[in-house]
């Protein structure tokens, strides 16, 4: 059994990533033996040059490990190592899996039945509706929802799972002692109560841009597939999709308007046959069915019949997924503006309508 403290210390050495870490441990048998070895001996290991060997020898390992463990205790977090039994099964099967996962919350065996949902940080109303609906319905079928807790589609995906009272896991591009983005603090703690927030980055690691492409391989690796909901041609979500393809995961994309910049990336994935087109949750389940043996489906919610007044029916008929201004709704439904606003409020309470900024409304 490897010593977690010594593993943590070795992982903190500059330029020691997961591959070099595994090469060193395989060669010397343990992190302790790595630190005891000479510069000459260290250079016998694949990927270890004289500079990295010198980094290992001069590294203040005890100081580093003590500082990390102190924050671990203070934040009530835990460490799962690659060699632990509870290391995520899906993640273990990717190229270059992380040596550590720093975890707040819990990862359970059923989280192997997971799907990742990613997309634009500034999505359209259509994109948010699609992400929320897919997340909620997949969660209701028992799947864990994976995403990156960024603004936009990521947050919507987590929210959909939470709404369905399902499990969700957020993967951060910084240390767990830093909530990023800061505006998602409340979401951060809700996710912990209903799943986990994880990172391969040690405590005190800031959310530098270079961390996120690396983080994305974990988002794709934890799931059985990735759904991309709105992504521009240079979106980070496309990096996640490409990583998923390299990891032999299923890739799905929600189609968008041909004129929409937010859908340029997703439409291209579909056009190039890199992703399967998704119109409903069934499109995802059918493709993943061979991987879902043993999935525990959630008890289906008791459907409550919603009755609508004549005026509510009029309003619903003129609404769509495209935002409509209140004056236009009033005109098209042949009702007064004040009456339309009152009816729209009732429809919002029934979760059939959503109000957007600027007195715009869409049908859910």
Gap between the Cα atoms of 251 and 241, Å rounded: 6
**Taking residues 78-106, what's their average pLDDT?**
95
pLDDT at residue 80 greater than cutoff 80:
yes
- What pLDDT, in 10s, does the model give residues 144-165? 999 999 999 999 999 999 999 9
Q: How confident is the model at residue 300 (pLDDT cuts 50, 70, 90)?
A: low
Q: How confident is the model at residue 41 (pLDDT cuts 50, 70, 90)?
A: very high
Residues 116/251, Cβ–Cβ less than 8 Å = no
**Taking residues 46-50, what's their average pLDDT?**
96
Secondary structure in 3-state letters for the chain: CCCHHHHHHHHCCCCCCHHHHHHHHHHHCCHHHHHHCCHHHHCCCCCCCHHHHHHHHHCCHHHHHHHHHHHHHHCCCEEEECCCCCCCHHHHCCCCCCCEEEEEECCCHHHHCEEEEEECCCCCHHHHHHHHHHHHHHHHCCCEEEECCCCCHHHHHHHHHHHCCCCEEEECCCCCCCCCCHHHHHHHHHHHHCEEEEECCCCCCCCCCCHHHHHHHHHHHHCCEEEEECCCCCCHHHHHHHHHHHCCCEEEEECCCCCCHHHHHHHHHHHCCCCEECCCHHHHHHHHHHHCCCCCCCCCCCCCCCCCCHHHHHHHHHCCCCCEEHHHHHHHHCCCHHHHHHHHHHHHHCCCEEEECCCEEEEC
Q: How confident is the model at residue 303 (pLDDT cuts 50, 70, 90)?
A: low
- The domain spans of the chain are 1-73, 105-291, 310-363
Query: Mean pLDDT, the chain, as a whole number?
Result: 93
Per-residue model confidence (pLDDT) at position 351: 82
Greater pLDDT, 56 or 349? 56
Q: How confident is the model at residue 356 (pLDDT cuts 50, 70, 90)?
A: confident
Q: Say if residue 229 is exposed, middle or buried (CB neighbours under 10 Å; 0-12, 13-18, 19+).
A: buried
Q: Is the peptide bond before 301 cis (omega within 30 degrees of 0)?
A: no
**Taking residues 77-103, what's their average pLDDT?**
94
Per-residue model confidence (pLDDT) at position 299: 57
Gap between the Cα atoms of 155 and 183, Å rounded: 11
Per-residue model confidence (pLDDT) at position 180: 97
Q: How confident is the model at residue 358 (pLDDT cuts 50, 70, 90)?
A: confident
Q: How far is CA 119 from CA 231, 236, 273, in A?
A: 5, 8, 18
What is the topology classification, in CATH, of domain 105-291?
Rossmann fold (3.40.50)
**One fold for both 105-291 and 310-363?**
no
* Least confident piece of the model among 38-47, 135-144, 226-235, 316-325: 316-325
Domain at 310-363, CATH class:
mainly alpha
Q: How confident is the model at residue 1 (pLDDT cuts 50, 70, 90)?
A: low
Terminal Cα-to-Cα distance of the chain (whole angstroms): 53
**Taking residues 182-211, what's their average pLDDT?**
97
**Taking residues 289-304, what's their average pLDDT?**
73
What is the topology classification, in CATH, of domain 1-73?
DNA polymerase; domain 1 (1.10.150)
Q: pTM of the full predicted structure?
A: 0.84
Tokens of 69: 């463990």
Tokens of 271: 């056009």
């Amino acid at each position: 059994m490897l010593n977690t403290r010594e593993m943590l210390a070795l992982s903190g050495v500059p330029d020691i990533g997961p591959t070099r870490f595994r090469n060193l441990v395989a060669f010397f048998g343990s992190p302790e033996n790595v630190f005891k070895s000479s510069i000459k001996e260290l250079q016998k290991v694949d990927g270890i040059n004289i500079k990295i060997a010198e980094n290992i020898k001069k590294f203040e390992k005890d100081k580093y490990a003590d500082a990390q463990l102190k924050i671990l205790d203070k934040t009530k977090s835990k460490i799962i190592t690659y060699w632990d039994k509870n290391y995520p099964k899906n993640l273990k099967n990717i190229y270059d899996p992380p040596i550590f996962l720093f975890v707040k919350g819990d990862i359970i065996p059923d989280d192997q039945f997971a799907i990742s949902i990613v997309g634009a940080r500034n999505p359209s109303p259509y994109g948010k509706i699609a992400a929320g609906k897919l997340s909620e319905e997949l969660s209701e079928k028992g799947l864990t929802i994976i995403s990156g807790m960024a603004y936009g589609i990521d947050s919507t995906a987590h929210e959909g799972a939470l709404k369905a009272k399902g499990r969700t896991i957020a993967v951060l591009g910084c240390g767990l002692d830093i909530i990023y983005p800061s505006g998602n603090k409340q979401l951060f703690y809700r996710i912990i109560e209903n799943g986990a927030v994880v990172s391969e980055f040690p405590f005190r690691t800031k959310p530098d841009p270079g961390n996120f492409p690396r983080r994305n391989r974990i988002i794709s690796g934890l799931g059985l597939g990735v759904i991309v909901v709105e992504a521009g041609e240079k979106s980070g979500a496309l990096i996640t999709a490409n990583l998923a393809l390299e990891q032999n995961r299923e890739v799905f994309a929600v189609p968008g308007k041909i004129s929409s910049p937010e859908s340029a990336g997703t439409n291209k994935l579909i056009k190039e046959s890199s992703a399967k087109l998704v119109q409903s949750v069934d499109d995802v389940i059918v493709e993943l069915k061979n991987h879902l043996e043993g999935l525990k489906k959630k008890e289906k919610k008791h459907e409550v019949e919603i009755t609508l007044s004549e005026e509510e029916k009029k309003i619903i008929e003129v609404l769509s997924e495209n935002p409509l201004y209140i004056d236009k709704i009033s005109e098209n439904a042949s009702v007064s503006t004040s009456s339309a606003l009152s009816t729209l409020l009732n429809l919002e309470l029934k979760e059939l309508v959503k109000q957007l900024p600027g007195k715009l409304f869409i049908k859910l």
